[in-house]
């Protein structure tokens, strides 16, 4: 899809290859380098990162702290444009934010004075779509299991519930890309486990492309169809590992245990486990 959109843009003609859309990637990150100026020095953060994501894939991004994972998500969200290279969807190069690509952070950042329902509705409200889409807010509330908390305020929720609201606030926009930046990072281990399963279930039913940044190798292996392992900054792709397992997955599965060791070795921690 991306390649055809790029071709159409450059040649100005509609190509027949759009018929093969589903065979082509939903997202292309092509030879992307990026960095920042800090006073007089340039900090290079991404080094010629290149990968494609197919329709319906769930990609986990693993790498050392500070290597550039969140920066990469920000590029896909359109909050920044790469210094060189292209990040493109089927619609062409990403030039800015769009409700079809939504970021969810570690902190739910809910508005404390708005009820759960109104927090979720905020994106639709801002786009003038709320009047016609009220049922959609109810639907996503049900999807994240909070239908009985529509009238609660954020301070009346647990951490896991608040993060579910944050997820629902993203899902209400029916995104094509859900960009998850350590969304479960602050939750206790058991809530985290159940939310890993819930996110996979929602992803399977909603059909968006998921990009998940996590520091938890097990989480990546339990949730993703592919794991990209990045180097230290400036981030390069060290490995692109397919996780070919049906859901729900089990942490003791011998293939997953083997892949966990493979990834730990790539991250330089082979002897720690
Ligand atoms: N807007 C910015 N201006 C200057 N430097 C930045 C900016 N955003 C990120 N950086 C730098 O880019 C590098 C990568 O940051 P990024 O947040 O992408 O890392 P990360 O892989 O997500 O790390 P972590 O796993 O700790 O969240 C860091 O050194 C950070 O200081
Ligand atoms: Mg980060």
How far, in Å, CA of 164 to CA of 199, rounded?
Answer: 9
> DSSP letters along 138-199, please?
HHHHHHTT-GGGTT--GGGS-HHHHHHHHHHHHHTT--SEEEEESTTTTS-HHHHHHHHHHH
Residue-wise pLDDT for 91-115, tens only, equals 999 999 999 999 999 999 999 999 9
Q: Compute the distance from residue 7 Cα to the ligand 1 centre, in Å.
A: 33
Kindly state if the Cβ of 205 falls inside 6 Å of ligand 1.
no
Q: Whose CA is nearest to atom 14 of ligand 1?
A: 68
Kindly state if the Cβ of 68 falls inside 6 Å of ligand 1.
yes
The answer to whether the Cα torsion of 264, 186, 151, 99 is positive or negative is negative
Task: Give first-to-last CA distance, the chain, whole Å.
Answer: 41
How far, in Å, CA of 59 to CA of 40, rounded?
Answer: 35
How far, in Å, CA of 61 to CA of 32, rounded?
Answer: 16
Kindly state if the Cβ of 78 falls inside 6 Å of ligand 1.
no
- pTM confidence score: 0.90
Residue-wise pLDDT for 31-50, tens only, equals 999 999 988 899 999 999 99
How many CB atoms sit inside 10 A of residue 251's CB? 12
Under 8 Å between Cβ of 39 and 21: no
Q: Give the nearest ligand 1 atom to 69 CA.
A: 21
Q: Whose CA is nearest to atom 29 of ligand 1?
A: 66
Q: Residue 22 pLDDT more than 60? A: no
Q: Whose CA is nearest to atom 7 of ligand 1?
A: 36
Q: Give the nearest ligand 1 atom to 74 CA.
A: 18
User: For the chain, give me the number of helices (H) and strands (E)?
Assistant: 8, 10
Q: Tokens 């049906």 label which residue? A: 246
Query: H/E element holding 212?
Result: strand 209-213
Q: Whose CA is nearest to atom 16 of ligand 1?
A: 68
Kindly state if the Cβ of 164 falls inside 6 Å of ligand 1.
no
Q: Compute the distance from residue 69 Cα to the ligand 1 centre, in Å.
A: 8
Q: Which domains does the chain have, with CATH numbers?
A: 2-100+175-272 (3.40.50.300), 111-172 (no CATH)
Q: Compute the distance from residue 20 Cα to the ligand 1 centre, in Å.
A: 37
Residue-wise pLDDT for 151-206, tens only, equals 999 999 999 999 999 999 999 999 999 999 999 999 999 999 999 999 999 999 99
Backbone region of residue 66 per phi and psi (left: phi > 0; alpha: psi in -120 to 50; beta: other values): left
Residue 229 — pLDDT band, cuts 50, 70, 90? very high
Under 8 Å between Cβ of 5 and 87: no
SS3 252: coil
């Amino acid at each position: 899809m991306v390649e055809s959109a790029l071709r159409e843009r450059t040649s100005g003609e509609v190509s027949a290859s759009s018929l093969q859309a589903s065979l082509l990637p939903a997202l292309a990150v092509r030879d992307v380098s990026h960095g920042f100026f800090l006073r007089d020095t340039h900090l290079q953060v991404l080094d010629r990162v290149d990968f494609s994501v197919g329709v319906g894939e769930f990609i986990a991004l693993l790498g050392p702290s500070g290597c550039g994972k969140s920066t990469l998500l920000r590029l896909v969200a359109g909050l920044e444009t790469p210094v060189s290279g292209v990040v493109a969807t089927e619609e062409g190069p990403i030039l800015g934010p769009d409700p079809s690509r939504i970021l969810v952070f570690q902190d739910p950042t809910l508005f404390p004075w708005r009820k759960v329902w109104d927090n979720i509705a905020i994106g639709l409200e801002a786009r003038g779509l709320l009047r016609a889409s009220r049922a959609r807010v109810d639907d996503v509330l049900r999807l994240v299991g909070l239908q009985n908390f529509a009238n609660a305020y954020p301070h009346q929720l647990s951490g896991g519930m608040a993060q579910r609201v944050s997820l629902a606030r993203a899902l209400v926009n029916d995104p094509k890309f859900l960009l998850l930046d350590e969304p479960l990072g602050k939750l206790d281990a058991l809530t985290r486990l159940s939310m890993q399963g819930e996110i996979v279930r929602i992803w399977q039913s909603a059909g968006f492309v998921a990009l998940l940044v996590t520091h938890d190798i097990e989480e990546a292996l339990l949730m993703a169809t592919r794991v990209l392992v990045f180097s230290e900054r400036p981030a390069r792709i060290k490995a692109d590992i397919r996780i070919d397992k049906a859901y729900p997955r089990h942490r003791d599965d011998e293939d997953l245990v083997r892949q966990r060791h493979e990834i730990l070795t790539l991250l330089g921690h082979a002897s720690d486990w």
